[in-house]
Amino acid sequence: NAGVTQTPKFQVLKTGQSMTLQCAQDMNHEYMSWYRQDPGMGLRLIHYSVGAGITDQGEVPNGYNVSRSTTEDFPLRLLSAAPSQTSVYFCASSSSLLWTGLATGELFFGEGSRLTVL
Amino acid sequence: KQEVTQIPAALSVPEGENLVLNCSFTDSAIYNLQWFRQDPGKGLTSLLLIQSSQREQTSGRLNASLDKSSGRSTLYIAASQPGDSATYLCAALFSGGYNKLIFGAGTRLAVHP
């Protein structure tokens, strides 16, 4: 049972570099999302997708790009890394959606990608 | 503004104690509320999901309740064990908007032998 798989687990970048965090799920979930977790702030939604070809912004989208070409994959791109993007990033998926795109069911999380930007 | 608050931020208890973790939210118009467990360096694992029409959910030694009128949810852990040591987060899915799943900052629980 792979569930939600994130790569890489750790990454160090220099300011201005770009990179892509990969997320794949094998549960045929329509809903996928990216969160960042910072100390004392809980998790905040960056971007989400309700199906292949459909993405939208969450609470903190600036500096990040996403695309959803397949049901399984939802990569997160950092366009020009900044120290403020140092964080732990989590990908999550869910099978349950309302027609509005509201993910109503249980969320399944990957193990996280720890990113440090120097 | 829709917010979710968890108090206390940290809790240390002896093994065998029954304990309650608290989660409060500012808007009663929620669709559901989830409780998660997070071990150090790991992702989140869903423990219980309570729909707005439900009052509580149970799984093994865990029981979660939901009171929308008071804006509160509690996670009750019976007969705590050292293996229960982790951070527990609650997240409320607020109605009326796209994917407004708001997380609390979590309660870090330590159960000592």
Asked if B65 and B54 count as a contact pair (C-beta separation under 8 A), the reply is: no
Q: Is the pLDDT at B98 greater than 60, yes or no?
A: no
B103 touches chain A (CB under 8 A): yes
User: Does A4 contact B46 at a Cβ distance shorter than 8 Å?
Assistant: no
Mean per-residue pLDDT for B26-35?
A: 87
Q: What is the pLDDT of residues A9-65, one digit of tens each?
A: 999 999 999 999 999 999 999 889 999 999 877 899 999 998 899 998 988 999 999
State the smallest CA–CA distance between residue A19 and chain B in angstroms.
21
B34 touches chain A (CB under 8 A): yes
Residues of chain A above pLDDT 90, percent: 75
Q: How far is CA B37 from CA A52, A63, A66, B46, B109, in A?
A: 29, 29, 27, 7, 10
B106 touches chain A (CB under 8 A): yes
Q: Could you tell me whether strands A31-38 and A42-51 are parallel, antiparallel, or unpaired per DSSP bridges?
A: antiparallel
Angle at B67 between CA B50 and CA B42, to 5 degrees: 45
